[in-house]
Amino acid sequence: MPNSYAPLRAPRRLLFGPGPSLVAPRVYAAMSQTIVGHLDPFFFEVADQVRSLIGYAFSTANQFNMAISGTGSSGMETAVANFAEPGRKFALLSNGYFADRIGEMARRQGAEVVRLAKEWGQPFDPQEAREFIKRERPHMVAFVQAETSTGMYNQGKPFCEAAHEVGALAIADCVTSLGGMPVLVDENGIDIAYSCTQKGLACPPGLAPVTVSPRALERLKARTTPVQSWYLDLQLLDTYYTGHKYHHTASATLFYALREALAMVAEEGLEQRWERHRRNHLAFVAGIEAMGLEMLVPEGHRLWTLNTPRVPAGVDEAKVRQYLLDERSMEIAGGFGPLAGKIFRIGLMGFGSTGENAILVLESLEAALKAQGYKPAGNGPAAAEKALAAAV
């Protein structure tokens, strides 16, 4: 090993991909404070605030809210590991990558996965989804409210209603909706929702907010087989967060950051925050369309947090991304799976969702596309500016 290392110096990135998103200075300031132990009274004070603020962000009266000690994907695994059961039917509504990943996790838990699938980025017909659920009569229904692989929003109320009609519980992946657009756990009837910290909440990655309805908690308590994961066992975690009994060494650092990011959500107010995301999303789309690009997702089904324009014919999206990284220190993402090379994934979320940033990204994208020989149909940044002015 070398016996000397220069202190780490991170580049400053403009984060406009599907997450992580830009983090507010106030969150960094909270996060860099000296740690306390995982059983310290101050830690539990912070954890209690986090718990109640998670409930607010999810728009739920549920008391069983917590931050799982892992990234958003660990939130998904928590939902699946605690509620999928070996040999029982698990119904999946899939129109993107993350839905299928839920299915993969459920299969690993031994559940029998049945699937209603649409092409990536295509909406479900609510009636068809209802019929699927009523025909299959599953034990669990899972769907992705905000599909990070496509930019599509499925609010999910009809899926939850149908699930309840057949005695099933509904899991919703809210990874790219929380803090940026309506999740509405109670109004939609979602039983188990999970998310991440690093998108709409504008916090570094590392924790996964989760909420569980009283009905789901009853189901959990009645489980006859043990949850295969000890680390993600919600009932054990509850003995820690509410009973203050040691389970694992939760990270004060990550809890500080999340507390601060959630406090900023509460201070802004959820409705105002959604409106901010909506306005900047609409301005960005106006700019994209003015430049002659098309959106993958039909209007009315789009996420406000994550925009997915199609890559124009003749443009190599990898080169566009490389240009942005090299010339602007800006991160956006491409598509993957069936959408590889076909879409950009451009996030305006959390702290990063501002009118200025919408214009900045359009300007940068315009420069990158021109470097690839693409001639924009019109002035994207100007169209966005106009949309922003009209929205005031």
Binding to its own copies (CB under 8 A) within 296-325 occurs at 325
- Site for its own copies contains 63 (CB under 8 A): no
- Site for its own copies contains 244 (CB under 8 A): no
Sole binder of its own copies in the list 63, 229, 354, 372 (CB under 8 A): 229
Stretch that binds its own copies, among 202-210, 214-222, 297-305, 359-367 (CB under 8 A): 202-210
- Site for its own copies contains 272 (CB under 8 A): no
Sole binder of its own copies in the list 74, 145, 188, 195 (CB under 8 A): 74
Sole binder of its own copies in the list 63, 253, 354, 372 (CB under 8 A): 253
Please report how close the Cβ of residue 286 comes to its own copies at its closest, in angstroms. Answer: 26
* Distance, CA of 141 to CA of 242 (rounded, Å): 28
- Site for its own copies contains 223 (CB under 8 A): no
Sole binder of its own copies in the list 63, 122, 242, 251 (CB under 8 A): 251
Cα angle, residue 308 at apex, residues 305 and 310 outer, rounded to 5°:
165
Judged by CB under 8 A, the chain residues 13 through 42 that form the site for its own copies are 13, 15, 17, 19-20, 23, 26, 28-42
How many residues at the interface with its own copies, by CB under 8 A?
85
To 10 degrees, the CA torsion angle through 333, 338, 339, 342?
120
Return all residues near 220 (Cβ < 8 A) that are at least 6 apart.
82, 83, 212, 234, 235
Sole binder of its own copies in the list 47, 53, 91, 296 (CB under 8 A): 53
Which has the closest alpha carbon to 16: 342, 341, 308?
A: 308
Stretch that binds its own copies, among 124-132, 203-211, 282-290, 305-313 (CB under 8 A): 203-211
- Site for its own copies contains 144 (CB under 8 A): no
Q: In what order do the strands lie in the sheet with 89-94?
A: 64-68, 208-212, 192-194, 169-173, 140-144, 89-94, 112-117
* Distance, CA of 323 to CA of 304 (rounded, Å): 25
Of the two residues 81 and 152, which places its CB atom closer to its own copies in the complex?
81
Q: How far is CA 81 from the centre of its chain?
A: 19
- Site for its own copies contains 257 (CB under 8 A): yes
Judged by CB under 8 A, the chain residues 323 through 382 that form the site for its own copies are 325, 331, 333, 336
* Distance, CA of 149 to CA of 18 (rounded, Å): 8
Judged by CB under 8 A, the chain residues 160 through 179 that form the site for its own copies are none
Sole binder of its own copies in the list 92, 133, 212, 252 (CB under 8 A): 252
Please report how close the Cβ of residue 96 comes to its own copies at its closest, in angstroms. Answer: 14
DSSP 294-313: -BSSPTTSB-SSEE-BBPPT
Q: Which residue has the tokens 């305006």?
A: 348
Q: Angle, nearest 10°, between helix axes 41-57 and 234-241?
A: 120
Q: Cis peptide leading into 20, omega within 30 of 0?
A: yes
End-to-end Cα, the chain, rounded Å: 58
Stretch that binds its own copies, among 73-81, 273-281, 292-300, 308-316 (CB under 8 A): 73-81
Judged by CB under 8 A, the chain residues 76 through 115 that form the site for its own copies are 76-77, 81, 101, 104-105, 107-109
